[in-house]
Amino acid sequence: MLFKIFIGWFFYFLCCVVKGDGVGVIPTTLDGPFTPVTVPLDDSFRGNAVDLPPHDPRVQRTVKGFEPEQISISLSTNYHSIWVSWITGEYQIGDNIKPLNPQSVASVVEYGEVKEKQSQKAEGYSLIYNQLYPFKGLQNYTSGIIHHVQLTGLCPDTVYYYRCGDPSIGAMSDVFRFKTMPVSSPKSYPKAIGIVGDLGLTYNSTSTVSHLMKNNPDLMLLVGDATYANLYLTDGTGSDCYSCSFANTPIHETYQPRWDYWGRYMQRLTSKVPIMAIEGNHEIEEQVNGTTFESYSARFAFPSKESGSKSTMYYSFNAGGIHFLMLGGYIAYDKSSDQYKWLQRDLAKVDRRVTPWLVGVWHPPWYNTYVSHYKEAECMRVAMEELLYNAGVDIIFNGHVHAYERSNRVYNYTLDPCGPVHITVGDGGNREKMAIKHADEAGNCPEPSSTPDSFMGGFCAYNFSSGNFCWDRQPEYSAYRESSFGHGILEVKNETHALWTWHRNQDMYYEAGDQIFIVREPPQRCHRVVMFLDQ
């Protein structure tokens, strides 16, 4: 163990960067806890996000017939398997829709390690979904045929070439490529993991995606709220604030073609970089009979079954020496729920000698100092925080709040060297615009009864260390916060050090808005981790 700690510190001392003011060393969490910092709003920041229109060539349909479009890949639980997804056929929206037959087009992926010849073949399954409204004047929607094919028996850290479609009718895609994850080991990690939340499809979103692609991620985490299709009525009329503009609609409508626009735009990234998504509140999309999350569950491929989950709303997977917990903030999470019991089982199987890093991902943040969504997920925190703390989770990523915030290590609102670092990256660029106001500023504290999540319900915000519902200054657990659009890159260097970098859209490529080495605490400082490893 002393040798491992020495290697970690040796690596840290090598990690010097040249900054604008000279040579400096990137700070580490071992230097903390840090004095809270609030960066004033940047005058160059343009937060007036505007959606790409339907006539933008980047969102228009360019394929013919049943040729594949909206191609994406996602991971299974381990390196040896990848999911390939795409859509064939055109969606329909209106009063007299006729769903396509999913069995009418085959789901085939041809792949191999040689670009000129894809010698292996895999077949999968297909489906369609509907978005239906039992109200006069609301248009119904039925999707194109959605295909999911699982490739298995893949080699680690290897480039594969693939094309997808139905070869029997000559409807095949161009050849794309992907690289598998490294083998799960304390010595092997993806080089860069892009993390973005609340993306949407605005001109700011496209800037975020361009910045992200410049950083060449091996994996992308989408921390909820993909398309914001539910800011639109079924006739395509949109608004920055649905409840403000459409207060009298009989049901919260959603314009499903925005999902197709998003899939077309994102293909340039998702066809080569695995995307691992988790649901956000904008994916609820209620329809007839109270059905929710239909588009989210149908369009993405999830390793739910492989990770022992019964739901697309929560699952887990490995990426090299990292075990990711993708948790659902919009499905039952109390101690009697299926999700909580699954999480207990999943954590019990984690071997920190194989995957030293344990990372949690879900949409609504537990530690948020902005007025927007302040303490909205308190019931989830009360239910799950102790379990994750005892398991030794290292980092937690959230979205939902349209700004950036990084915490000191914290547990139960108290600074704790064994607690995780919480990072909110709900700043992808969607049209609901940026969160700017802080709950600890004079006159900004929300009424407690107004804060619980409207979908999950419940009120758990009772006692706080400050003695009040809001702090009167930036809380000590909040290390850094800034209102700007952007994305993050996580680079796990070894079993002790991970470099976290947050990039602002208004900055040049590769320039860091916030950067820190997150260092896994030595086990002797966190005895609960030693106990967990010994199980």
373 is catalytic: yes
188 neighbors 158 (Cβ within 8 angstroms):
no
How many Å apart are CA 459 and CA 237, to the nearest integer?
34
How many Å apart are CA 311 and CA 218, to the nearest integer?
26
In order, the DSSP letters of 61-111 are ----TT--EEEEEEE-SSTT-EEEEEEES--EEESS-----GGGS--EEEE
Q: How far is CA 154 from the centre of its chain?
A: 25
What is the dihedral sign for C-alpha 229, 234, 238, 243?
negative
469 neighbors 459 (Cβ within 8 angstroms):
no
The one catalytic residue among 373, 400, 402, 438: 373
Burial 3-12 (b: 16+ CB within 10 A, else e): ebeeebeeeb
Which is it for strands 193-196 and 486-492: parallel, antiparallel or unpaired? antiparallel
How many Å apart are CA 519 and CA 497, to the nearest integer?
5
Element (H, E) at 424: strand 421-425
336 neighbors 106 (Cβ within 8 angstroms):
no
Element (H, E) at 465: none
Enumerate the active-site residues: 373
